[in-house]
Each structure stands twice: as C-alpha cells, then as structure tokens.
Amino acid sequence: MTNIFRQANIQDAEAIAQLLINSWQVAYENILPKKLLLGLSLVEWVNGWKVHLANAKNEVYVLLEDQEIIGVAEVCSFNEKHLSQYSNHAEISVFYLLPDKVGLGYGKKMMDEVLSIIQGKENDGVAIWVLEKNQRARSFYRKFGFKFMGNTKKFPKGNLNEILYIRKKK
C-alpha cells in the first residue's frame, strides 16, 4: 500500500465531500442531531468543495492510499479577530479521515505532514477548533502537543461548543 500526501485539486471535490459526510456521520453520531447527519447533501458538499478548491489561496491537502483519498486537511491563517493573541498562528480548519482508517496510524501520518507544512511557514504556532464533546479528537490533538486555551465558540450546527486548542511552534 502506497501513501501519498499532496495538495488537493478541484477533481478531488467529490471524494473529499463523500469522505467528510462519512466522517461526520460516524465521528459525530452521538454528538450532532441524527436528523442533521442524515440530511447531509452530497451534491451541496461537492459544489461547495469545488468552489473552495478553485480558490488558489486555500491550502487543502489529501492523503491517498493506493489512489483513494482517505484523509483531508486544510491549513489557513487563524482569523478569529477577537482572539488577537493568536493572530500570527496558522489554523488547521479541516482534519478528517475515512472512518475505517481511524486508529490505524493514518491520522498521525497526516498530522505529521500538516505540522511540517506549518513549521515551514512564518507563524507562532497552530490553532484548531474541536467540538467540546469530541473526546477522541481532543485526545488525538493533545498527543501532538495541542493544549486547550480556555476559549470557546458556538458550533453553527446544533447547540454545541467548539473549544480552541493551540500548539506553539517548536
């Protein structure tokens, strides 16, 4: 099995959308409302990702195994204006694997690649928002040196909080 980590392109939109829907339906099964998870529209997500990937400033990456996209990550500038103390941080705004690839080392491989990209940029560290109730993700990010900073925001879908984790640049 060959793994490749590369920048995504517009032809990846459908595979990314399907991966995200599958990931949300498994990872958030007991966190988000069932109606919301079952109502996720592949057509809407594909169209949204086509537009997103067409924007050259977005840094979206995919992890492939034998030509199949099994993971997706996005790196951007942290842009929460009210948290100016992190204004010089990068942000991992998307980080998902196919559900059947979770726990097999692919997440570590993908995070190592993403952190390497961020390390090579001018920033003070990296931020990631995670659903407060997503204990598995929180544990995963802590293994990479991310720390909860006490900041929260409302998640736009459902009555949930996202919490901010920060990893300082080494």
Q: Return the pLDDT at 142.
A: 97
43-54 residue pLDDT tens: 999 999 999 999
- With a pLDDT cut of 70, the percent of the chain lying above it is 98
Q: Return the pLDDT at 107.
A: 96
Q: Return the pLDDT at 55.
A: 85
Q: Return the pLDDT at 129.
A: 96
Region for 75 from its dihedrals, namely left if φ exceeds 0, alpha if ψ lies in -120 to 50, beta otherwise = beta
83-120 residue pLDDT tens: 999 989 999 999 999 999 999 999 999 999 999 999 98
Q: Would you say the C-alpha torsion 16, 20, 21, 23 has a positive or negative sign?
A: positive
pTM for this predicted structure: 0.93
SS3 149: strand
Q: What is the CATH number of domain 3-168?
A: 3.40.630.30
d(C-alpha 2, C-alpha 9), whole Å = 20
Band of residue 58 on the pLDDT scale cut at 50, 70, 90: confident
59-69 residue pLDDT tens: 999 999 999 99
15 vs 82 pLDDT, higher one: 15
Asked whether residue 157 carries a pLDDT value surpassing 80, the answer given is: no
Q: Return the pLDDT at 110.
A: 97
Average confidence (pLDDT) over 25-32:
94
**pLDDT, the chain, mean:** 93
